[in-house]
Structure 1
Amino acid sequence: MDLPRSFTIREGDLRILNPFDAGKLATLGRAIKLEPGTSILDLCSGKGELLCTWARDHGITGTGVDISTVFTAAARERAAELGVADRVRFAHGDAATYVPEEPVDLAACVGATWIGDGVPGTLEILRRSLRPGGMALVGEPYWRLDPPDAETVTGCQARTRDEFQGLPGLVRLFAECGWDLVEMVLADQDSWDRYAAAHWLNLRRWLDANPDDELAGELRRELTEDPLRYVRYQREYLGWGVFALLRR
């Protein structure tokens, strides 16, 4: 059980594997008023930057679960680097089925609602790990602008227009699922640029070093096509944010 190798090549040395930068991640931690000792479960935790920096800055404790062995190893290294390995731990496993031994104060799934086949299912996965009154964090794309045609939908890597909501529709969906939206921090075009463009440099450096690898043709096509697709479609039409929710 692991991610395809192309994912780790694309992400390269990135620490935050979504369109947030370090400033926005820090803003989110302050906005939800984290207190020392807050227990956090981070599902699809990637390279662990959320848990590691929040342990350093706010004194939280937590567990991250991710399907990638490479990302999990990087998360453990980051915890050691920041001196928080005694407060956070990282497990390789299936985030969709993981349940902690004890309920937590905050459960997060930031940018991977595929584990629940969408927002409603992911909220249910998070709910089962929360103590009464605990907070859920969900990271999710949304339409910044209504896509005018199927080409734009495909260019934003969506299967259908209905795969994503507009921002009002997403907020309405949270309410329909029985949750109050109590905070949000949204990516902007600059943080999207930093995430998307970092992939291009990672791909190019890897291709230069590995021209005969079996993945070279596939990743060469991606590097050729992705910059134009991004600036033509995704940058204008697709937003992304992290939403803090409390059960009604």
Structure 2
Amino acid sequence: MDIAELISISQGTLAIMNPTTPEKVIAAGRAAGLREGNRVVETGCGNGTILALWGREYRISGVGIEAREDACRRAEQTFREAGLDDRITVRCMDAREYVPDEPFDCAASIGASHIQGGFAATLDALMGLVTDEGSIIIGDRCWRSDRTPPEFAREWPDVLTGYEILSTVREAGFDVAAVIPSDGNDWDRYESGIWQALLSWLGNNPCHPDRDFIIDYLHRLQDEYFGYGRDYMDWAMYVLVPGFW
């Protein structure tokens, strides 16, 4: 099954496709200094919920970049229903190919570092989208410590520890203004939402040729989560600002 289709099946119905909450998303925007008149770009914007939250709370304008056509349609609907479609738009394209007409005040990638190939590559790409004074928000997985068992760490070669993320940020000339982590409830709600979406798809597609694949995928996700995800994996939004040196 195509990865885009799998993401749409497993996470397309989630309001926020990450283990976080609207309150934490708004807090990240506050730490980034978002205010009325700011222009924000989000790569991998999914169904547009995060930009809509910032649009309502801080009256920003902006652009969401999303490659999946079904997600683009949902994002357009999200902005329209929030009364933001005159200020926030969607570009349905590969974020790696996006070149803005002018730099933004803030660039975000919330749970979408896989697009660029990891945290460092995502940070580098977002730096190219903002002004010299612009802020960056990256939501990503991280290991809780450097003592993660190798057999688990090998499953996620692009995941860094929190300290490795800090070092990467500083090397790029930025400082961490805030870290807004997920908690156990956020993770349980997010993972459970994925499982329920997959189970719903299975119930609605009893004869689909990819049925066995989806069953295996569901069980693999659950094995990972209960086997080591709860113990070793974190997720957080990192709010980054230009360093003072």
Q: Provide the residue aligned with 1:188 in structure 2.
A: 183
**Is contact 1:79–1:85 with CA below 8 Å preserved after alignment?**
yes
Which residue of structure 2 lines up, in the alignment, with residue 223 of structure 1? Answer: 218
| Equivalent residue, structure 2, for 1:246 | 241
Note if 1:235 corresponds to 2:230.
yes
Task: Please tell me whether the aligned partners of residues 42 and 64 of structure 1 are also in contact (alpha carbons under 8 angstroms).
Answer: yes
Give the conservation status (yes or no) of the 8 Å contact 2:32–2:241: no
Structure 1 residues 184 and 237, CA gap change in structure 2 (3 angstroms) = same
What is the total number of aligned residue pairs between the two structures? 242
Match of 2:61 in 1: 61
SS in 1 for 2:35: coil
Q: 1:58 & 1:233 partners in 2: Cα distance? A: 38
Amino acid aligned to 1:53: L
- Trace 1:1-248 onto structure 2 (pairs within 5 A): 4-154=4-154, 157-158=155-156, 160=157, 163-248=158-243
SS at match of 2:97: coil
Counterpart Cα distance in 2 of 1:75 and 1:127: 24
| Distance in structure 2 (CA, Å) of the matches to 1:121 and 1:34 | 24
Is the contact between residue 36 and residue 60 of structure 1 (CA under 8 Å) also seen in structure 2?
Answer: yes
Output one character per residue of 1:123-146: Cα deviation in whole Å (capped at 9) or x when no partner: 221122211201111122111134
Change (3 A) 1:18 1:55: same
- Cα distance in 2 for partners of 1:125, 1:52 equals 23
Any gaps of 5 or more consecutive residues in structure 1? none
Q: Is the 8 A contact 2:12 2:71 kept in 1?
A: no
Distance in 2 (alpha carbons) for counterparts of 1:240 and 1:129: 24
Contact 1:37 1:60 in 2 (8 A): yes
Alignment gaps of 5+ in structure 2: none
Question: Alpha-carbon deviation of 1:30?
Answer: 2.7
Query: What is the CA–CA distance in structure 2 between the aligned matches of 1:207 and 1:71, rounded to whole Å?
Result: 21
Which stretch shifts more, 238-247 or 222-231?
A: 222-231
Amino acid at match of 1:125: A
After TM superposition, give the deviation of residue 164 of structure 1 in Å: 2.1
- Are the equivalent residues in 2 in contact too, given 1:146–1:237 (CA < 8 A)? no
One-letter amino acid of the counterpart of residue 208, structure 1: G
TM-score norm. by structure 1 comes to 0.91
- CA contact 1:184–1:241 (8 Å) conserved in 2: yes
**CA apart distance, 1:168:** 1.6
What are the Cα deviations for residues 45-76 of structure 1, in whole angstroms up to 9, with x where unaligned? 11111111111111000000011111111100
In structure 2, how many angstroms separate the alpha carbons of the residues matched to 1:197 and 1:151? 24
Distance in 2, matches of 1:197 and 1:65, equals 26
- Contact 1:49-1:75 within 8 A present in 2 as well: yes
SS in 2 for 1:4: helix
TM-score by length of 2: 0.92
Return the alpha-carbon distance in structure 1 between the equivalents of residues 207 and 39 of structure 2: 46
2: CA distance, partners of 1:125 / 1:10 = 27
SS at match of 1:96: helix
